[in-house]
Every structure is written in C-alpha cells, then in structure tokens.
Amino acid sequence: GEDVEQSLFLSVREGDSSVINCTYTDSSSTYLYWYKQEPGAGLQLLTYIFSNMDMKQDQRLTVLLNKKDKHLSLRIADTQTGDSAIYFCAESFPWGGYNKLIFGAGTRLAVHP
C-alpha cells in the first residue's frame, strides 16, 4: 500500500542549511508536496514538484526528487529561527474521483543559535 516515511527530528544551527528527507512507495505519484506546520496552526503549502521533474528551486527552498529511489528532499538554505516547525512530505495520485494525498508523519525542525 501507499506509505510515506520521514525522519522525526532535525536540529540545525541558525544560518546553516537544513535537509529534510522523505521516501515514498507509490510509483504512480503525480505530484509531491512539502507542507509546513507551525505550532497551533494548519498546514501551509511550501512547494510542490511534478513527478517527472528532478529539481525545483524557490528562493531558499530546493526540492530534489529521485524517482528511481522514490526519495524526495527539501533543502532550506540559510535556516532561520522562523523556519522552526514541522515539515510534512505528501504524495498525490489519482484515486477514485479525486486526487489522493498521503502524508508522512512529519519532521520537526529545531533551529538553534
């Protein structure tokens, strides 16, 4: 069945780069997403990549997709304390009458001075 896995915690120093990794199982995924959740808030879409792309860059964010290994990563350059949050990876694919999203359990990013 479909599954998305992420490491649970990542701690980085302010100013360093953060890399959050994700693996997924379903090869029929159409899009892969990164969402950010701050305490007490809902999920905010950060970026997404179509499954036939290898890389997407958006300001400080770089998404890398290795479709052969079913591995997705999110790199945050010059990480700031405001980047501290939980980051969710999600894959989407057609399922019945809609586009199904499968989420990972989330990676908690802690940024320290």
Binding site for other proteins (CB under 8 A): 4, 8, 30-31, 33, 35, 40-45, 48, 88, 90, 92, 94, 96-106
Contact 64, 47 (CB under 8 A): no
> Cβ closer to other proteins: 18 or 92?
92
CB of 111 to other proteins, least distance (A): 22
Instruction: Name residue, tokens 């969710």.
Output: 88
Contact 3, 27 (CB under 8 A): no
CB of 13 to other proteins, least distance (A): 26
71-76 and 61-66 strand pairing: antiparallel
CB of 15 to other proteins, least distance (A): 30
